[in-house]
Amino acid sequence: MGSDQLILNEFKTLYWVWKRGLPDWAAFLLLGFLVWLEDRTINKRIDNVVDEAIKEYEKVDPPTAVVSPPVYSESGSGFFDEMRLTAPWKAQEDPSDPP
């Protein structure tokens, strides 16, 4: 057991430098921490690369709005006012229909 559980060379180097002079139990804890930290680092790098690729793609082919924005309406008087967001296709139907 050792740095073979680590993937990135920078974390392998950190492990070998930091474990010098540590007892086995402390080196084991250090390895566990570095494996956890390396996993989070790799995931963050992947997220950043994917986000950047999506931004670049959206510059070339911007997304189109698939759903129309909702229709806002208010009704009532005084204390019992009602605010409603309705789907555009539902707002075009007969207003006397019960919801």
- The answer to whether residue 74 is domain-embedded is no
- The answer to whether residue 97 is domain-embedded is no
6's CB contacts (< 8 A; 6+ apart) are 12, 15, 31, 34, 35, 38
| Strand stretches in 1-99, DSSP E | 71-75, 82-86
Number of domains in the chain: 1
| Predicted confidence (pLDDT) at residue 99 exceeds the cutoff of 80 | no
- The answer to whether residue 76 is domain-embedded is no
**Domain span holding position 48:** 3-60
- The answer to whether residue 85 is domain-embedded is no
Q: In this predicted structure, what is the pLDDT of residue 98?
A: 57
Regarding pTM above 0.75, the answer is no
- The answer to whether residue 48 is domain-embedded is yes
Q: In this predicted structure, what is the pLDDT of residue 73?
A: 82
Digit-coded pLDDT (tens) for 2-31:
678 899 999 999 999 999 999 999 999 999
Digit-coded pLDDT (tens) for 55-70:
999 999 888 877 778 8
